Chain A
Amino acid sequence: MPMEKLTLSFDIIGGNFIAAGEASSATKAALRKIGLSNDIIRRVSICMYEGEINQVIHGGGGKAVIEVDERRVAITLTDGGPGIPDVSKALEEGFSTATNEIREQGFGAGMGLPNMKRYSDEFEIISKPGEGTTVVMSIRF
């Protein structure tokens, strides 16, 4: 599909609810520019935005790297936050450790990770308590 390869990299700031989503927004604009289809762009947007929000809320901030090649868009989200004690539990729809304060901001449905899994073609979480979390997703053309 796209002729050019592309790599984008962002620092995500933990706890900042106002800036949250800026990296996803910039990614979306960049993918538009290289001419990816609306369907692909929307799936990447959902996956990345959910991941970015998780880094802001749960992960204490982190790094997001987006790589586009001739086959896929890959999203790698890394943080040095508290990690996830039970990953399979975290992947269940409705599971959330979000506080009431977070819920009042519109998050904490426990749907973020399930959404990311559903809309990506490849999905992997590597996480250990105390060592942070890495989420790798790819969306194939």
Chain B
Amino acid sequence: MKLSDVREILSASVMCGEERLSEEVLSVCGSDLMSDVLAFVKDQSVLLTGLMNQQVVRTAEMMDMKCIVFVRGKTPEPDVVTLANQRGLTVMSTMHRMYEACGRLYSGGLV
């Protein structure tokens, strides 16, 4: 699956990293607790979260992820998006709730 498919499946709007939508993604992690995300060293590429601070970006960066999706229609502060963009991370926002967003991506083939 590509990041552009993630955008489509989640009807998400892209806040930065439009130029990286052709990148492949393999697996997703959904959590609002960062140490939970850091506990699994598999190649996770997408982080779904309802949390909106700098530490979400740092966590994704430490894990070599490619994309952060903010759920429930949340939009982070501009400096959070700027930091993500500097780190080469694509940022999206979807209206779906966490549960629904995970379900849609799972059905779409991301585990």
Contact = CB atoms under 8 A, between A and B. Distances in A.
A42 B63 contact: yes
Interface residues of B, number: 21
Contacts of B55: 17, 20-21, 53, 105-107
A100 B87 CA distance: 29
Interface residues of A, number: 28
Interface of B: 32-36, 38-39, 41, 49, 51, 53-56, 58-59, 61-64, 87
A117 to B, nearest CB: 11
Is the contact region of chain A dominated by helix, strand, or loop, or is it mixed? helix
Contact of A115 (B38, B54, B58, B87): B38
Interface of A: 17-18, 20-21, 24-25, 28, 38, 42-43, 45-46, 49-50, 53, 103, 105-112, 114-115, 118-119
B62 A42 contact: yes
A21 B38 contact: no
Contacts of A109: 33-36
Nearest to B80: A18
B54 A20 contact: yes
Given A42-B41, A106-B59, A111-B39, 20 more contacts: A17-B53, A20-B55, A21-B62, A28-B62, A42-B64, A43-B41, A45-B62, A45-B63, A46-B38, A105-B51, A105-B53, A106-B32, A106-B53, A107-B33, A107-B55, A109-B33, A109-B35, A112-B38, A115-B35, A119-B41
A106 B38 contact: no
A3 to B, nearest CB: 24
A103 B41 CA distance: 22
A112 B35 contact: yes
A59 B17 CA distance: 36
15 contacts: A21-B58, A24-B58, A28-B62, A42-B41, A42-B63, A46-B41, A50-B38, A53-B55, A106-B51, A106-B55, A106-B59, A107-B34, A109-B36, A111-B36, A112-B38
